[in-house]
Amino acid sequence: MNTLYATLALFAILATGSLGVSAFAQEFVDAVTVATDQTSYANGDTITVTGTVREKLSGYDVTLQVIAANGNLVTAKQLPVSDDNTFGTDLTAGGPLWRSAGTYTVKVLYGTATRTAETTFEFGGSGESAPVRGLPKFNLANPEDGAVGYSIKGGKIVSITPDSSSKSLMVEIETTSDGQLKLQIPRSVLDARAGPDGQSGDDQSFFVTVDGQDVDFDETTTADDRTLTIPFEDGNTQIEIVGTYVVPEFGTIAVIVLAVAIVSIVAISSRSRLSILPKY
């Protein structure tokens, strides 16, 4: 009988301990959360970080860290928790510590080591873009002509190929999400005009297709350039821009190669003219 009582007592102690451990673990589930407003960013973009705590602790701030794709710590902050149990901050993507391209991790800690959370985002790196290794660079027949400037959100540009027969540029892309492509195209490279030579007269609208389907797009023009903002969907692979004139000679291999760019739209200014690719 004593053995039976001892066994029952032992099971009771073990059960009580298990419940205690379970309750202790449950206490910190979702004790703190964190998120960013987008899943990918470009150099110079604003990253909005927000989060919540389940229980506000007196005298404690949230410790925030951003870890680069190469493992380096790029940002560390202490964030106060508001009366509604939320916290947040804005970060600027870029700077000498943000050179690495890839997946960045946002980590937060609140109070104790058990109150932690993290999220990730993609960043294209803050270093100057370089041509894709192993592919030919863009070469204009006339070195006086400008280079095509670009920015892209939701993917990367693989190449741009001119088609003299259709007077168009074929843009090959690889996507990571829905996004948009912004191209600043010198009129000396591609234009659409009403004149018989395709280079004179009043401006006409380009005809733009994404995977063969015509799409609406935004455009701004200057005397020297035409800037197009073209939306695309995740999974699209080809954008064609048809005009009335395309530069007839592009050197030995008719391909424009642009650098990888997984990030948000970069503002275009008339001063910089988005000369991301070097002139030749």
Can you give the pLDDT at residue 53? 93
How far is residue 158's CA from residue 132's CA, in Å, rounded to a whole number?
8
Between the two ends of the chain, the Cα-to-Cα distance in Å is 96
Q: For residues 172 and 1, give the distance between their C-alpha atoms in angstroms, rounded to a whole number.
A: 82
* Domains identified in the chain and CATH numbers: 31-123 (2.60.40.1930), 129-280 (no CATH)
- DSSP code of residue 2: H
Q: How many residues does the chain have?
A: 280
The structure's pTM equals 0.42
What are the mean pLDDT values of the chain's consecutive 10-residue runs (280 residues total)? 56 51 48 93 92 89 89 84 94 83 92 85 69 31 51 82 82 90 86 90 93 92 91 94 78 32 34 41
Q: For residue 251, is it left (φ>0), alpha (ψ between -120 and 50) or beta?
A: left
Helix, strand, coil shares, percent, the chain, to 5: 10, 45, 45
Task: Give pLDDT, residue 4.
Answer: 56
